[in-house]
């Protein structure tokens, strides 16, 4: 029994020794491979280690471990780089904070200095305010006293001012009265002067007429050339005598102590000292339509082609003769000759005579009157002034007759009255339309 037991133990010991020997061999082989792998990894990068996957020394677990280890190293390097950068940024921020702290300390010192100054200024302001309050109170007292004095002065002088205003108003009324009297006297003197001027002109005209009758030289110009066949004449008036083309002159002759009418001429060409003209036929207006005012181009026409009358508008309208000034033509048995005189009642060697036509006409229209004046060389204007020579005054209606005409008719009447009064004030010759045409006929 003892033998069996001792043999088994030795067998067990022998088996254990063999196992330990095998384990030792395997362990040393493993350590040798680990050392070889570590050396290879140390000498070669992981990428070159991949190429040894087919070698006997390759171990996949070891390879994975070193790959993970390399990744960790890369992450550690990146973390170290990030930490370094953040340390640098933190250092800069700490420096900035130190600078800000330094500036804050300086600002605190400045603020403390300003607070000290503000306190000093506040104290000075309070003292100044107290001083100003005292001065203002004193000034108020002075002003109140001055206001009271001025109030008393105003009350004292107000009566004097009112008296002066009343005196000024009285003086203004007196001045206005004197102005009116002055203007009235001026107008009276002007009227008297105009009357005297008209009397003097009348006396001079009468003296000249008597002298001209004795010498036979009352005229504006003379006929210096005459062609009866072509009705052509030349007169001794030109541009230097202020005549113009289109002016008409009556031809007169002195015989048997009176002036005889020989005909009329119209200037067609004006030279410097002479003018050419034509002998006019009888001056007669052609017939015209009483409905439309159309003037017939020929004297033989009897009916208007532009108007009709009657319920059916079928009746013809007869033309009527215009009521204008007529002058006879040259007498065939007593023609115009060289040496005959020419005259124009509206002609002046010094200037063109000015006429104004106003009022309601009776026989002739205002346009006809203006046309006749213009034919004889007169200038027609719209307003009466000091340069106006003649006022041709028509009929001025009464105020009661223009009530239906409204404001426009009243304005026209007021304008007529104003022109008449102005002409009287300036001493301007006033003639009626009938007097004008009698003047033209003579």
Does residue 390 register a pLDDT over 60? yes
b vs e for 120-142, b when ≥16 Cβ sit within 10 Å of the residue's Cβ? Answer: eeeeeeeeeeeeeeeeeeeeeee
Exposed/middle/buried for 250, CB within 10 Å: 0-12, 13-18, 19+?
buried
Asked if residue 72 belongs to a domain, the reply is no
* Mean pLDDT, residues 4-10: 68
Asked if residue 242 belongs to a domain, the reply is no
Identify the pLDDT of residue 269. 94
Does residue 215 register a pLDDT over 70? no
- Residue 267: pLDDT band (50, 70, 90) is very high
- Residue 342: pLDDT band (50, 70, 90) is very high
Asked if residue 26 belongs to a domain, the reply is yes
- pTM for this entry: 0.40
Across the chain, mean pLDDT equals: 78
Does residue 141 register a pLDDT over 70? yes
Identify the pLDDT of residue 160. 81
* Contact by Cβ (8 Å): 373, 247: no
pLDDT (tens digit per residue) in 284-306: 666 777 666 666 767 677 777 76
State the CATH number of the domain containing residue 384.
Answer: 3.40.50.10190
If one counts the domains in the chain, the total is: 2
Indicate the helix (H) or strand (E) that contains 127.
Answer: helix 60-215
Question: Which whole-number Å values give the CA distances from 325 to 76, 282, 301, in the listed order?
Answer: 136, 10, 21
Asked if residue 29 belongs to a domain, the reply is yes
Coil, helix or strand for 320?
strand
pLDDT (tens digit per residue) in 152-183: 888 888 878 888 888 888 888 888 888 888 88
* Mean pLDDT, residues 27-53: 64
Asked if residue 357 belongs to a domain, the reply is yes
Does residue 129 register a pLDDT over 70? yes
Dist. CA 224–CA 136, nearest whole Å: 106
Coil, helix or strand for 143?
helix
Asked if residue 395 belongs to a domain, the reply is yes
Indicate the helix (H) or strand (E) that contains 35.
Answer: helix 2-43
Identify the pLDDT of residue 310. 58
Asked if residue 392 belongs to a domain, the reply is yes
Dist. CA 239–CA 221, nearest whole Å: 13
- Residue 268: pLDDT band (50, 70, 90) is very high
Question: Which whole-number Å values give the CA distances from 321 to 289, 309, 317, 434, 439, in the listed order?
Answer: 9, 19, 13, 18, 22
Q: φ, ψ for residue 149 (rounded to 5)?
A: -65, -45
Asked if residue 36 belongs to a domain, the reply is yes
Dist. CA 291–CA 307, nearest whole Å: 7
Could you list the residue range(s) of the whole structural domain that residue 408 is in? Answer: 346-442
Does residue 27 register a pLDDT over 90? no
């Amino acid at each position: 029994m003892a033998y069996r037991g001792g043999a088994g133990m030795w067998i067990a010991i022998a088996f254990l020794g063999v196992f330990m020997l095998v384990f030792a061999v395997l362990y040393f082989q493993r350590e040798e491979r680990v050392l070889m792998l570590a050396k290879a990894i140390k000498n070669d990068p992981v990428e070159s280690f991949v190429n040894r996957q087919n070698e006997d020394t390759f171990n996949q677990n070891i390879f994975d471990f070193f790959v993970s280890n390399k990744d960790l190293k890369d992450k550690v390097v990146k973390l170290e780089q990030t930490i370094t950068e953040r340390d640098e940024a933190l250092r800069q921020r700490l420096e900035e904070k130190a600078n800000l702290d330094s500036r804050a300390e300086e600002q605190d010192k400045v603020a403390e200095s300003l607070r000290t100054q503000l306190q000093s200024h506040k104290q000075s302001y309070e003292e100044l305010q107290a001083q100003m309050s005292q001065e203002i109170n004193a000034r108020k007292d002075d002003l109140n006293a001055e206001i009271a004095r001025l109030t008393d002065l105003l009350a004292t002088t107000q009566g004097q001012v009112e008296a002066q205003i009343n005196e000024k108003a009285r003086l203004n009324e007196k001045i206005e009265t004197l102005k009116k009297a002055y203007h009235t006297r001026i107008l009276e003197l002007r009227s008297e002067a105009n009357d005297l001027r008209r009397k003097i002109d009348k006396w001079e005209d009468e003296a000249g007429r008597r002298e001209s009758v004795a010498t036979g030289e009352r005229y504006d110009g003379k006929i210096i050339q005459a062609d009866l066949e072509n009705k052509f004449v030349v007169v001794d008036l030109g541009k230097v005598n202020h005549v113009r083309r289109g002016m008409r002159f009556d031809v007169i002759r002195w015989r048997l102590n009176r002036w005889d009418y020989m005909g009329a001429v119209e200037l067609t060409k004006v030279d410097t000292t002479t003018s050419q003209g034509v002998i006019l036929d009888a001056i007669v207006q052609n017939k015209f339509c009483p409905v439309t005012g159309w003037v017939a181009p020929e004297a033989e026409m009897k009916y208007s082609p532009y108007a009709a009358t009657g319920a059916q508008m079928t009746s013809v309208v007869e033309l009527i003769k215009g009521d204008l000034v007529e002058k006879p033509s040259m007498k065939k048995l007593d023609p115009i000759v060289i040496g005959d005189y020419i005259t124009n009642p509206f002609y002046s060697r010094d200037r063109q005579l000015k006429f104004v036509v106003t009022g309601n006409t009776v026989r002739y229209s205002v346009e006809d009157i203006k046309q006749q004046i213009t034919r004889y060389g007169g200038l027609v204007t719209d307003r009466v002034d000091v340069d106006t020579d003649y006022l041709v005054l028509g009929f001025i209606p009464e105020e009661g007759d223009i009530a239906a005409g409204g404001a426009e008719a009243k304005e026209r009447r007021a304008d007529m009255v104003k022109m008449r009064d102005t002409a009287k004030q300036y001493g301007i010759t006033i003639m009626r339309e009938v007097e004008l045409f009698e003047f033209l006929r003579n």
